[in-house]
Amino acid sequence: MTEVNNKQVILRNYITAFPKDTDLYVTSSSVSTKFKLPTDTATATSNSKVLAVIVKNLYLSCDPYQRLYMKKIAGLSTYTPGSPIFGYGVAEVLDSQHPDFKAGDLVWGTTNWEQFSLLTTPKNLIKIQHTETDVPLSYYAGILGITGLTSYVGFYEVCSPKEGEHIFISAAAGAVGQIVGQLAKLLGCYVVGSAGTKEKVDLLKNKLGFDEAFNYKEENDLDLALKRYFPEGIDIYFDNVGGKMLDAVLLNMRVHGRIAGCGMISQYNLAQPEGVTNLMHLVVKRVSYHGFTVRDYYHVYPKFLDFILPYLRQGKIVYVEDMVKGLEVAPAALFGLFKGHNIGKQVVAVDHE
Amino acid sequence: MTEVNNKQVILRNYITAFPKDTDLYVTSSSVSTKFKLPTDTATATSNSKVLAVIVKNLYLSCDPYQRLYMKKIAGLSTYTPGSPIFGYGVAEVLDSQHPDFKAGDLVWGTTNWEQFSLLTTPKNLIKIQHTETDVPLSYYAGILGITGLTSYVGFYEVCSPKEGEHIFISAAAGAVGQIVGQLAKLLGCYVVGSAGTKEKVDLLKNKLGFDEAFNYKEENDLDLALKRYFPEGIDIYFDNVGGKMLDAVLLNMRVHGRIAGCGMISQYNLAQPEGVTNLMHLVVKRVSYHGFTVRDYYHVYPKFLDFILPYLRQGKIVYVEDMVKGLEVAPAALFGLFKGHNIGKQVVAVDHE
């Protein structure tokens, strides 16, 4: 019996404003969990050069960038209304035409938001050597996957940090922010984060080891708030939010400061983005703003894994995961990112009962 | 007779809006062109470690950044109301306490806007080996000085250009823009510039070898104008203007594009800078904006001079100079930069009759 029911999370239509949970809906279709005619398929695929795998999805990563795929942007590929959305996740291989994968393999990489996926581009999958680790498998949908690698390359490769530098992180209690802050502390930086609730601020200061943290929603003047924590200015800004916070940070950057542009979550749901007025400080203070995406740094992954696993095992890096179960609640979990509902990394555990 | 009259260009007061010529005024004082007591002075200065030079200023460079020194910016040094303004220029040493300089030497570097200057920081002066060159001395107030070095390091060090890349330059008929465009053509790039008059557009296309040029004042939609010249997008943007043009450029940057932040002349005279709304393209397309100043690159000067002199002598790089004579007209020349009056490099020849 290889035909099974397959729950899927579908994009209803392109979204132009703040998303509603109903902009995504859950439906079912039937799917085969095995390739039907192994021999014929092998011949067919060797001709067509498509070597697919069928996977059972286990954990899905909720990432702010996914909102960008829900609207049309010239020159960029997006989600297709009527089809399941995709993202990063952890999965188990059920059947494979590809020589690098076999049934039973655990993988992380790009997959669809559904219970089972036929993946025609398994080159985006990385095998998980899970027997060698003593951390939860779901971590590969976060700190041991895209989230951790983003934090690592964003901090080390983009920011060129030095011991003792002063670093500010926005959305610091989010998936990436929490890790960047801890990497910066391990390097000996002075680290301040902003977040949107008292609970998150407490987490940053008391559990994640940030030197300082503040609730940006309680500040009337972000410039003054930053001057309170950075009287001598900011060397590195890890930008997860863009908009007004970026504008205030620009006023407080030090000469030769560096800004890593990881995301601009405050802007994704605006029909018209906010104007940033203080860009002249980039020139006057010789500051760089470097937009980056982890997709340019997959080659760093083995090095990153060697770096991060010992810290995780020794408890020197803490990882906060916010997990919900079931595809039915996946839309609310994803859109909750934009309301600040998540604390730490938002993950969906796919239901398979 | 070493006491002479010394005309000076003085800042009346800090400027908050668009400057008027009367915000600078010309006055006279008396100045000595020789140190009075060579022996005593040598003793005194060896104690105080000040080894000054007295120079006769010959050419003064008019640069947009000077406007920034005319208002208060926290943490940055500015001009002092009631004192002569300073900038880059070419001068002849009349007397020297410094072992590196002697009377008769020609130098370029930081000097004051006046006929004669006592310079207590001659480390900012570079000796001109003028007998070895066959180019006008005034070029050291431009293409062989700060302007050329800015163009060279901005293009080669900040933009990391590759042959065949598509480059856009704003204020392209200005001092730096004209040189950057020619450097890019020499490297085999496709080069488009914007300027504010038909005359300048003609200059770019017909004399300076730009592939295309357009008058931004005649475009209703800068985004559409850029799409006309860059249907496949922009690899490198050399930003001299900031503001609306930058916002339109961001929409047209290619993945992994680079922006060199040389200046934002469109913003210097605004009480409130314009908001730039398309910064999300920095993240989505992994683009960097790198603010820079030539002051971080003086060590490149010898290499730059070896590079540029042969091109100048062979006529392979054309240099357009816009020269006025006399300190009385210097304020109008400087502020003319913000009205687009200059074509090419604006220089003031200091009068000494």
Number of inter-chain CB pairs under 8 A, A vs B: 99
> DSSP label at A231?
T
Is A81 near chain B, with CB under 8 Å?
Answer: no
Residue B321 token pair? 């100079």
Band the pLDDT of B257: cuts 50, 70, 90.
very high
* CA dist A28 → A5, A56, A138 (Å): 7, 15, 24
Query: What is the CB-side half-sphere exposure of residue A13 using CA atoms within 13 A?
Result: 3
Residue type, A295: R
**CA-to-CA distance for A250 and A207, rounded, in angstroms?**
29
Residues of B in contact with A287 (CB under 8 A): 291
**CA-to-CA distance for B249 and A291, rounded, in angstroms?**
15
For A276, which of B272, B279, B291 is closest by C-beta distance? B279
pLDDT at A99 over 70: yes
Residue B344 backbone zone (phi > 0: left; psi -120 to 50: alpha; other: beta): left
The average pLDDT across B14-27 equals 92
- A292-351 pLDDT per residue, tens: 999 999 999 999 999 999 999 999 999 999 999 999 999 999 999 999 999 999 999 999
DSSP string, B109-121: EEEESBSEEEES-
Residue whose tokens read 């002479």? B4
Q: How many residues does this entry show for chain B?
A: 353
**CA-to-CA distance for A151 and B343, rounded, in angstroms?**
47
Residue whose tokens read 């203007």? B241
Between residues A1 and A260, the one the model is more confident about: A260
pLDDT at B8 over 80: yes
DSSP string, B137-198: GGGGGTTTTHHHHHHHIIIIIIS---TT-EEEESSTTBHHHHHHHHHHHHHT-EEEEEESSH
Is B104 near chain A, with CB under 8 Å?
Answer: no
Is A289 near chain B, with CB under 8 Å?
Answer: yes
DSSP 3-state assignment of B244? helix
* CA dist B268 → A126, B81, B339 (Å): 50, 18, 12
Nearest CA distance, A319 vs chain B (angstrom)? 25
> What's the pLDDT at A39?
47
**CA-to-CA distance for A21 and B165, rounded, in angstroms?**
43
CB contact under 8 A, B280 and A273: yes
> What's the pLDDT at A74?
67
> What's the pLDDT at A122?
73
Band the pLDDT of B269: cuts 50, 70, 90.
confident
Band the pLDDT of A49: cuts 50, 70, 90.
low
pLDDT at A198 over 70: yes
Ranges A65-69, A139-143, A163-167, B144-148: which has the least confidence: A65-69
Pairing, β B288-291 against β B253-261: parallel
**CA-to-CA distance for A25 and A27, rounded, in angstroms?**
7
Which phi and psi (to 5°) does residue B351 adopt? Answer: -85, 135
A118 membership: H or E segment, kind and range = strand A116-119
Q: How many helices (H) and strands (E) does chain B have?
A: 9, 15
Residue B32 token pair? 């000595």
Closest CA to A264 of A275, A278, A277, A253: A275
The average pLDDT across B135-160 equals 96
**CA-to-CA distance for A126 and A131, rounded, in angstroms?**
15
Is B118 near chain A, with CB under 8 Å?
Answer: no
Is A76 near chain B, with CB under 8 Å?
Answer: yes
- Name the packing angle between helices A222-229 and A243-252 (round to 10°): 50
Torsion of CA A177, A183, A186, A192, to 10 degrees: -30
Distance linking the first and last C-alpha atoms of chain A: 16
Instruction: Please identify among residues 205-244 of chain B the ones whose CB lies closer than 8 Å to any CB of chain A.
Output: 233, 242
pLDDT at B123 over 70: yes
Residues of B in contact with A285 (CB under 8 A): 291
> What's the pLDDT at B119?
94
The complex scores an ipTM of 0.91
Nearest CA distance, B293 vs chain A (angstrom)? 7
pLDDT at A43 over 60: no
pLDDT at B76 over 80: no
Report the greatest alpha carbon distance in chain A: 69
Cross-strand pairs, A291: A261
> What's the pLDDT at A225?
98
CB contact under 8 A, A280 and B267: yes
Closest CA to B55 of B135, B120, B142: B120
pLDDT at A75 over 70: no
Name the average pLDDT for chain B. 92
- A244-302 pLDDT per residue, tens: 999 999 999 999 999 999 999 999 888 889 999 999 999 999 999 999 999 999 999 99
Residue B59 backbone zone (phi > 0: left; psi -120 to 50: alpha; other: beta): beta
Inter-residue contact A95 to A34 (CB < 8 Å): yes
The average pLDDT across B67-77 equals 80
Ranges B35-39, B54-58, B303-307: which has the least confidence: B35-39
> DSSP label at A219?
-
In chain B, the residue whose alpha carbon lies closest to the alpha carbon of A272 is B277
CB contact under 8 A, A290 and B288: yes
CB contact under 8 A, A292 and B280: no
Q: How many residues does this entry show for chain A?
A: 353
pLDDT at B68 over 50: yes
Q: How many helices (H) and strands (E) does chain A have?
A: 9, 15
> DSSP label at A279?
T
DSSP 3-state assignment of A334? helix
- B104-115 pLDDT per residue, tens: 999 999 999 999
Inter-residue contact B259 to B155 (CB < 8 Å): no
Residues of A in contact with B278 (CB under 8 A): 273
Strand intervals (E) in B205-344: 212-215, 234-239, 253-261, 288-291, 321-325
Residues of A in contact with B267 (CB under 8 A): 280
For A76, which of B261, B264, B284 is closest by C-beta distance? B284
CB contact under 8 A, A273 and B279: yes
Query: What is the CB-side half-sphere exposure of residue A338 using CA atoms within 13 A?
Result: 21
CB contact under 8 A, A284 and B246: no
**Percentage of residues of chain A with pLDDT beyond 70:** 94
Model pTM score: 0.93
Is B71 near chain A, with CB under 8 Å?
Answer: no
pLDDT at A132 over 70: no
Residue type, B185: K
Residues of A in contact with B223 (CB under 8 A): none
Cβ-based neighbours of A15, under 8 Å, separated by 6 or more: A23, A67, A70, A71
Residue type, A236: I
CB-neighbour burial class of residue B280 (10 A; exposed 0-12, middle 13-18, buried 19+): buried
DSSP 3-state assignment of A190? strand
CB contact under 8 A, B290 and A288: yes
